[in-house]
């Protein structure tokens, strides 16, 4: 029996792989927004490429790239307001850039130096930008979903006209927290938009080993929320579905699950070799669906972009990230005292004693 919550098997797509658009579904974004979306997608790709090079050179220790998935975070980011809260996963640097997080801050977190607002306590790519309403990325898979639900439940009780955005990969849907997060959000009608970036692989485990469901989107039906399958390499389709899900959340109609079908054009992380489990012919085929190529073609056809603009923007983005790297490599490591700060409102006696002992051994006197 058909129900209003039944998920279609087909993906929503507005922008075809050849860059042509379905005029009936085109959201009609203004030219400035379209150009900015492409610029941020390009900047995201350049940062990922540069940071992966740094890891290979041993200048940072770890990195996770979002190569091939840029449309997911930037299409979503364009649909949300800066006042909305976000609990991201590993592959949303484009969302940070969309919200104007400085490249210097992104780079400093990967170095874990004294500029890093986490003071080196987190692994690289585990960003936290409180001033941009972004909660720290967590290493345990799926925990951000229950945290996002909690934020959304609090918002609803306070009457805030805001939504919560959270991301997870296809592999993360196998975690207990996926069930708990979606279940509680649906029961409470919390204003949460759950984004599942289905890139086909949970490290080396294919989606077929993660679930017997035909799609990830249809999992939403069991929880009593809409689930929509979207072409995750189509920035316009991502934008439209994210915007609609946010509007639904703000109206008090509850959460939505969006499955963004994309592909990871790189390894899971700098520690992974995807050629061990994905054939080269698959990568070559998927490169033809590259979201940047698709969106660039669309903007060129509209007369909003050309080769000169691309070259100028790429140079600007490269110069910015290279300057950020140069500056960060001169920044010292966090001071020893930062191990003890930002943990307790008032330092416990045992930690104070530990710090004083260490400072004494260094001949620095007592902690005040």
CA distance 240 to 251: 17
Three-state SS at 192 = strand
Looking at residue 142, the DSSP 8-state letter turns out to be: T
CA distance 77 to 71: 10
Three-state SS at 313 = helix
Distances (CA, A) of 300 to 16, 108, 309, 313: 14, 35, 10, 15
Q: Say whether 268 is catalytic.
A: yes
| Catalytic site residue from 277, 313, 314, 318 | 277
Looking at residue 16, the DSSP 8-state letter turns out to be: -
Q: Say whether 264 is catalytic.
A: yes
Find where tokens 């987190």 sit: 122
| Catalytic site residue from 268, 294, 296, 298 | 268
| Catalytic site residue from 246, 264, 294, 296 | 264
CA distance 223 to 217: 11
CA distance 325 to 108: 8
For residue 224, the Cα-to-chain-centroid distance in whole angstroms is 25
Find where tokens 């703000």 sit: 250
For residue 321, the Cα-to-chain-centroid distance in whole angstroms is 19
CA distance 78 to 35: 12
Nearest-Å Rg of the Cα atoms of the chain is: 22
Strand 85-87 with 164-169, pairing: parallel
Q: Say whether 126 is catalytic.
A: no
CB contact burial 63-97 (16+ within 10 A = b; e otherwise): bbbbbbbbbbbbbbbbbbeeebbbbbbbbbbbbbb
Find where tokens 């918002």 sit: 155
Cβ–Cβ < 8 Å for 263, 257: no
Three-state SS at 186 = helix
Q: Which residue numbers are catalytic?
A: 264, 268, 277
């Amino acid at each position: 029996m058909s129900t209003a919550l039944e998920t279609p098997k087909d993906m929503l797509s507005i922008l075809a792989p050849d860059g042509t658009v379905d005029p009936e579904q085109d959201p009609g974004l203004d030219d400035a927004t379209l150009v900015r979306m492409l610029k941020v997608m390009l900047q995201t790709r350049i940062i990922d490429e540069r940071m992966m090079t740094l890891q290979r050179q041993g200048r940072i220790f770890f990195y996770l790239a979002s190569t091939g998935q840029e449309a997911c975070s930037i299409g979503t980011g364009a649909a949300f307001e800066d006042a909305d809260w976000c609990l991201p996963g590993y592959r949303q640097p484009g969302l940070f850039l969309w919200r104007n997080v400085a490249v210097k801050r992104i780079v400093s977190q990967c170095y874990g130096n004294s500029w890093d607002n986490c003071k080196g306590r987190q692994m690289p790519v585990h960003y936290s930008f409180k001033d941009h309403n972004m909660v720290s990325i967590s290493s345990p898979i799926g925990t951000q979903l229950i945290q996002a639900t909690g934020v959304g439940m609090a918002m609803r009780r306070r009457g805030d006209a805001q939504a919560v955005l959270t991301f997870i990969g296809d592999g993360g849907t196998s975690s207990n927290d996926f069930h708990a997060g979606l279940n509680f959000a649906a029961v409470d009608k919390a204003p949460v938009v759950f984004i599942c970036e289905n890139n086909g692989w949970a490290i080396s485990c294919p989606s077929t080993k993660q679930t017997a469901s035909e799609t990830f989107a249809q999992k939403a039906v069991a929880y009593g929320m809409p689930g929509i399958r979207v072409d995750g390499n189509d920035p316009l389709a991502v934008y439209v579905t994210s915007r609609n899900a946010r509007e639904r959340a703000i109206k008090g109609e509850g959460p939505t699950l969006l499955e963004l079908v994309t592909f990871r054009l790189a390894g899971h992380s700098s520690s992974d070799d995807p050629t061990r489990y994905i054939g080269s012919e698959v990568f070559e085929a998927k490169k033809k669906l590259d979201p940047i190529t698709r969106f660039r073609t669309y903007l060129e056809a509209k007369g909003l972009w050309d080769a000169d603009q691309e070259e100028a923007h790429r140079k600007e983005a490269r110069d910015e990230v290279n300057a950020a790297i140069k500056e960060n490599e001169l920044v010292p490591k966090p001071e020893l005292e930062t191990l003890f700060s930002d943990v307790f409102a008032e330092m416990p006696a045992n930690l104070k004693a530990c710090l004083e002992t260490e400072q004494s051994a260094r001949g620095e006197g007592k902690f005040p």
